[in-house]
């Protein structure tokens, strides 16, 4: 088999070359992101392009030097990162949770990009019984092997749903009877005084910009954690943990 057509992988979770990436997508592998050499116009890439659109896979056009730094193998202008977890359908999870007689508990992460924070959040979410963690297709931390390691294996047990449009996601949750609660410092509502019982979806934003204004307006309620010190904010993974535990404290006291 020629080097060009041979399935190639450098490290765990890395696919090198156009044909291996095509075969992985067609086999149903979960692709986290594809790096594509700028100006690439090969015949095999023309075969890959519609698959990328069909599966809505995040891509990044990069100079060839970046690809060469990642691997010395014949990458043909294409390198893909495979997710160690299979993304799941959020609507199915919510429906199935109701059918089982359970109270849906969903966590939405808007623009949380640090992989270590993401992994730590998923670890806490699994511990408190969150039914699914929802992330946007673009502008989110990679769901990769570093995230899996940071989560202490929690990503093997908690569903992750990658959604193209968080606005539609929030609308679906509201229409399904979930209370959507955004965590933001731009409110006077303290989490301890808010009603966090019943079917609920918690929205957490990035440390830099918080929740997108569009999504924050859609929330049924906004809350903040009480702060007594001089520093005005918490690490997003710590803040998420504090709020998730307040949810289960209230729900366990029903």
Q: What is the DSSP letter of 254?
A: -
Tokens of 243: 């709020």
- For residues 110 and 160, membership in a common domain is answered with yes
Question: pLDDT-derived band of residue 72, with 50, 70 and 90 as boundaries?
Answer: confident
Contact yes or no for 175/191 (Cβ under 8 A): no
What pLDDT sits at residue 7? Answer: 41
Of 48, 82, 116, the last residue of a domain is 82
What pLDDT sits at residue 208? Answer: 86
- For residues 226 and 163, membership in a common domain is answered with yes
- Structural domain total, the chain: 2
Is residue 6's pLDDT more than 90?
no
Q: What Rg, from alpha-carbon coordinates, does the chain have?
A: 20
Question: pLDDT-derived band of residue 10, with 50, 70 and 90 as boundaries?
Answer: very low
- For residues 192 and 162, membership in a common domain is answered with yes
- Residue 8 forms part of a structural domain: no
What pLDDT sits at residue 128? Answer: 97
* Calpha distance 45→36 (Å, rounded): 9
pTM: 0.87
How far is it between the farthest Cα atoms of the chain? 66
- For residues 78 and 103, membership in a common domain is answered with no
Going from the C-alpha of 34 to that of each of 142, 225, 233, the distances in angstroms are 12, 38, 34
SS (H, E, C) 184-214: CCCCCCEHHHCCCCCCEEEEEEECCCECCHH
Q: Residue 67 sits in which domain range?
A: 14-82
- For residues 164 and 241, membership in a common domain is answered with yes
- Residue 192 forms part of a structural domain: yes
- For residues 103 and 176, membership in a common domain is answered with yes
- Residue 161 forms part of a structural domain: yes
What pLDDT sits at residue 138? Answer: 87
Q: What angle do CA 188, 194, 200 make, to 5 degrees?
A: 120
- Residue 4 forms part of a structural domain: no
With 0-12 CB in 10 A as exposed, 13-18 as middle and 19+ as buried, what is 240? buried
- For residues 75 and 98, membership in a common domain is answered with no
Is residue 4's pLDDT more than 70?
no
- Residue 7 forms part of a structural domain: no
- Residue 219 forms part of a structural domain: yes
Contact yes or no for 146/32 (Cβ under 8 A): no
- For residues 213 and 103, membership in a common domain is answered with yes
User: What CATH number corresponds to the domain at position 231?
Assistant: 3.40.1280.10
Contacts 24+ apart (CB under 8 A), 58-62: 58/32, 58/33, 58/34, 58/137, 58/138, 59/33, 59/34, 59/35, 60/33, 60/34, 60/35, 60/36, 61/36, 61/37, 62/35, 62/36, 62/37, 62/38
Is residue 118's pLDDT more than 70?
yes
- For residues 27 and 109, membership in a common domain is answered with no
Is residue 34's pLDDT more than 50?
yes
- For residues 123 and 22, membership in a common domain is answered with no
Beta-carbon contacts of 149 under 8 Å, excluding residues fewer than 6 positions away, are: 119
- For residues 140 and 196, membership in a common domain is answered with yes
What pLDDT sits at residue 33? Answer: 92
Mean pLDDT of 70-97: 94
Cα torsion angle, 10, 136, 173, 188, sign: positive
Query: Mind listing the pLDDT tens digit for each residue in 165-198?
Result: 999 999 999 999 999 999 999 899 999 999 999 9
- For residues 33 and 128, membership in a common domain is answered with no
Question: pLDDT-derived band of residue 5, with 50, 70 and 90 as boundaries?
Answer: very low
- Residue 129 forms part of a structural domain: yes
Question: pLDDT-derived band of residue 29, with 50, 70 and 90 as boundaries?
Answer: confident
Question: pLDDT-derived band of residue 254, with 50, 70 and 90 as boundaries?
Answer: low
Of 33, 57, 82, the last residue of a domain is 82
Is residue 49's pLDDT more than 50?
yes
Is residue 219's pLDDT more than 90?
yes
* Calpha distance 205→247 (Å, rounded): 17
Mean pLDDT of 8-17: 70
Mean pLDDT of 234-245: 96
* Calpha distance 153→155 (Å, rounded): 5
User: What CATH number corresponds to the domain at position 26?
Assistant: 3.30.1330.30
Tokens of 167: 């606005």
Of 50, 82, 114, the last residue of a domain is 82
């Amino acid at each position: 088999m020629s080097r060009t057509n041979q399935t190639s992988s450098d490290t765990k979770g890395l696919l090198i070359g156009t044909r291996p990436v095509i075969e992985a997508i067609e086999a149903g592998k979960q692709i986290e992101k594809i790096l594509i050499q700028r100006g690439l116009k090969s015949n095999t890439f023309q075969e890959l392009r519609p698959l990328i659109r069909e599966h809505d896979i995040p891509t990044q056009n990069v100079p060839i030097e970046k690809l060469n730094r990642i691997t010395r193998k014949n990458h043909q202008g294409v390198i893909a990162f495979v997710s160690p977890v299979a993304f799941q359908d959020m609507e199915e999870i919510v429906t199935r949770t109701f059918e089982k007689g359970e109270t849906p508990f969903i966590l939405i992460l808007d623009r949380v990009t640090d992989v270590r924070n993401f992994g730590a959040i998923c670890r806490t979410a699994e511990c408190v019984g969150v039914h699914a963690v929802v992330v946007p297709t673009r502008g989110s931390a990679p769901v990769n092997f570093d995230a899996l390691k940071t989560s202490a294996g929690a990503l093997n047990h908690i569903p992750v749903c990658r959604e193209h449009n968080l606005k539609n996601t929030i609308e679906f949750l509201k229409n399904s009877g979930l209370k959507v609660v955004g965590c933001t410092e731009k409110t006077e509502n303290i989490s301890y005084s808010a009603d966090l019982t019943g079917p609920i979806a918690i929205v957490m934003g990035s440390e830099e910009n918080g929740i997108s204004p569009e999504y924050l307006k859609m929330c049924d309620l906004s809350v903040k954690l009480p702060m007594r010190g001089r520093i005005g904010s918490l690490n997003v993974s710590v803040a998420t943990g504090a709020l998730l535990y307040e949810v289960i404290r209230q729900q366990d006291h029903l």
